[in-house]
Amino acid sequence: MKDTQGLNVLVMGVSGSGKTTIGRMLAQELAGEFIDGDDLHPQNNIDKMRQGIPLNDGDRQPWLSKVAECFATAKRQGKIRVIACSALKRQYRDVLRSGDSKLCTLFLNPDPQLLKKRMLSREHFMPTALLQSQLDTLESPTGEGLTFEYQSASGDISAQHITSAFLSWLLEERIYNGKQEI
């Protein structure tokens, strides 16, 4: 066992997949810090999405660098940090892993109908019309290291249940035991 405490978790998925809800819960359970990646977007990215225009690689690049830097800082300081960030493509996640090569990922992957229902019933800058472009852009992280996927295709599963399943996975995989890196 290492004597340094520290863990970085990426909670990823398309819009409405539950990143903020579950990321916040997870950070609380881990007694760590939560950052919503949406708060790190430059204003022009928010404006673009608000207008119903999907972001492109160039728009996301400075934003991903910021998120990677947040992971790198936590790593240096031995902190526990959970960041909600869509991280839709493999190349985006590679940028994030440049901040911490041992980054753990929770991939939230609900059924598109459920996503649509959730997005229609909330107040948010992201229009529901952008959901399809999010789904089209998504490259599954399955098979990438230190990744746990939660697919709730058969219906809504509580955020608490998903959070607990991820915490159990961290323990089973001997990644983190609630006190320190294993």
Ligand X SMILES: O=C(O)[C@H](O)[C@@H](O)[C@H](O)[C@H](O)CO
Which residues of this chain interact with ligand X, rule CB under 6 A? 15, 38, 55, 60, 86, 88, 126, 134
Could you tell me which residues are beta bridge partners of residue 49? none
Residue type, 143: G
Verify binding: residue 159, ligand ATP, rule CB under 6 A.
Answer: yes
Binding-site member from 6, 8, 10, 18 for ligand ATP (CB under 6 A): 18
- Closest to ligand ATP by CB, 2 vs 122, is 122
- Output the six-digit token pair for 37: 């990646």
Verify binding: residue 163, ligand ATP, rule CB under 6 A.
Answer: no
The DSSP annotation for 67-119 comes to HHHHHHHHHHHT-EEEEE----SHHHHHHHHTT-TT-EEEEE---HHHHHHHH
Site for ligand ATP in 71-90 (CB under 6 A): 84, 86
Verify binding: residue 16, ligand ATP, rule CB under 6 A.
Answer: yes
Grouping H, G, I as helix, E, B as strand and the rest as coil, residue 20 is helix
Do the Cβ atoms of 103 and 8 come closer than 8 Å?
yes
> 157 touches which of ligand X, ligand ATP, none (CB within 5 to 8 A by kind)?
ligand ATP
Under the rule (CB under 6 A), what is the footprint of ligand ATP?
Answer: 13, 15-21, 38, 84, 86, 118, 122, 124, 126, 156-159, 162
